[in-house]
């Protein structure tokens, strides 16, 4: 290959798409088994590569020259082949530094917990030092190599102000995990997670629920990729390229999740957006009917609302890892907090707020088949809708106007 990414497992990677937006060059993903790294590097059959878990430290002795900054960090994530000589750099440093600044986290005079002890943790250490953190504590499950255990972090470092996660805990496909419990660290004011798939890990969701500044690793990924390409081609890209690609990737990978009362226009708006952007539309009610093998009214009649809600939760859990789709939810989907959390891993929730007097009762909605029921549900659910959504869209106007209003917030 000419350009690409090497690592042990790359099923989660967005790098090929990002480099496709940087320039017109071939970029491949190449998984390399442990024990075969040296053969690949020594073959030198590439022009430029990025390096990810678990090889950022392993490649250093195989290179002809390593940038002093990368050597000091102890990790290389970018290698350039210049006339058969291999040059190593660390572009993760700039990526993480820009991410922290973008998130608005100030490390000056703060204690920072860095989760993990691999190559990215070394980069995080260098970044924290450059941003004037006064104390940097490494945390790992084993507590080896001058790290503390997670239990020690809870007991001895309750005053930590920032957490940087560099472990793969919480990464797709095992994204329903988190490396640390924020409830046990009450003074944390900033959280950075190097993971970018899902867009919001459980750790980031925990932080945001507590009002803590927090951001996942997508911006860092784009920033380091642009910087790596500058080394590949010995060029300098405009500063706007990073922000443009990040905005495009965020829109592409984030799901549009439509929430609101039955009859608020979710399916109709979803269909228009699907056609407009070529994104798949998933209607959770349709999936429920398919999974149950019967209509929603029949599910209610035979098994009751709880059974319906259980199937609904299963359906939402099944689609939570999908990216770049449009999801039209049932009116009561967000009544369960676990459903909201699942939808927020990769989605932004838009409340289509249609006045109750404009909602027409229909026979296929057991909890909204009369106006009295509609009104009762509206009054019960409106505070829940408003609390869980990211944006409120006025749905009292025409459908095209609703679509335009939503897109203006997207």
Taking the CB of residue 50, how many other CB atoms lie within 10 A of it? Answer: 27
Count of alpha carbons within 13 angstroms of residue 111, beta-carbon side: 13
Strand partners, 328: 258, 283
Catalytic annotation on 56?
yes
Residues in Cβ contact with 198 at an 8 Å cutoff, skipping those fewer than 6 apart: 170, 172, 175, 216, 321, 323, 345, 346
Burial class (CB in 10 A: 0-12, 13-18, 19+), 198: buried
Q: Which of 56, 111, 266, 348 is catalytic?
A: 56
CB of 272 within 8 A of CB of 399? yes
Residues in Cβ contact with 247 at an 8 Å cutoff, skipping those fewer than 6 apart: none
Crossing angle (nearest 10°) for helices 202-209 and 337-344: 120
Residues in Cβ contact with 324 at an 8 Å cutoff, skipping those fewer than 6 apart: 252, 253, 254, 255, 279, 280
Q: What is the rounded distance in angstroms from the CA atom of residue 256 to the CA atom of residue 283? A: 12
Residues in Cβ contact with 177 at an 8 Å cutoff, skipping those fewer than 6 apart: 169, 170, 202
Residues in Cβ contact with 383 at an 8 Å cutoff, skipping those fewer than 6 apart: none
- Residue from 181, 173, 205 nearest 344 by CA: 205
Phi-psi region at 342: left, alpha or beta (left = phi > 0; alpha = psi -120 to 50)? alpha
What is the set of active-site residues? 56
């Amino acid at each position: 290959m000419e350009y690409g990414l090497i690592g042990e497992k790359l099923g989660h990677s967005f790098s090929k798409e990002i480099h496709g937006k940087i320039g017109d060059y071939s970029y491949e993903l190449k998984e390399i088994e442990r024990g075969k790294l040296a053969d690949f590097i020594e073959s030198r059959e590439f022009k430029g590569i990025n390096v990810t878990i678990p090889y950022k430290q392993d490649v250093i002795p195989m290179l002809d020259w390593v940038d002093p900054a990368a050597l000091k960090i102890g990790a290389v994530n970018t290698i350039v082949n210049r006339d058969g000589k291999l040059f190593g750099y660390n572009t993760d440093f700039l990526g993480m530094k820009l991410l922290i600044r973008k998130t608005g986290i100030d490390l000056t005079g703060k204690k920072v917990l860095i989760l993990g002890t691999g190559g990215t943790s070394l980069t995080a250490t260098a970044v924290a030092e450059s941003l004037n953190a006064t104390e940097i504590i490494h945390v790992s499950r084993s507590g080896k190599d001058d790290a503390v255990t997670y239990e020690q972090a809870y007991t001895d470092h309750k005053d930590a102000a920032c957490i940087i996660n560099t472990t793969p805990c919480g990464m797709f496909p095992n994204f329903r995990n988190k490396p640390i419990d924020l409830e046990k660290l009450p003074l944390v004011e900033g959280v950075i997670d190097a993971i970018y798939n899902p867009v919001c890990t459980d750790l980031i969701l925990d932080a945001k629920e507590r009002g803590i500044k927090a951001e996942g690793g997508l911006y860092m990924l784009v920033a380091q990729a642009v910087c790596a390409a500058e080394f590949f081609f010995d060029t300098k890209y405009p500063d706007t390229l990073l922000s443009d690609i990040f905005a495009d990737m965020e829109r592409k990978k984030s799901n549009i999740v439509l929430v609101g009362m039955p009859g608020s226009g979710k399916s109709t708006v979803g269909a228009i957006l699907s056609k407009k952007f070529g994104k798949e539309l998933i209607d959770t009610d349709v999936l429920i009917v398919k999974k149950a093998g019967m209509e929603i009214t029949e599910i209610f009649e035979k098994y009751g609302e709880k059974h319906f809600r259980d199937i609904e939760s299963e359906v939402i859990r099944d689609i939570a890892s999908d990216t770049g789709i449009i999801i039209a939810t049932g009116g009561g989907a967000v009544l369960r907090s676990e459903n909201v959390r699942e939808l927020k891993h990769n989605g932004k929730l838009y409340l289509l707020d249609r006045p109750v007097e404009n909602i027409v009762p229909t026979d296929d909605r057991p909890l909204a088949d009369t106006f009295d029921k509609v009104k009762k549900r509206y009054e019960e659910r409106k505070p829940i809708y408003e609390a869980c959504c990211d944006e409120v869209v006025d749905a009292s106007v025409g459908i095209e106007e609703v679509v335009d209003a939503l897109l203006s917030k997207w």
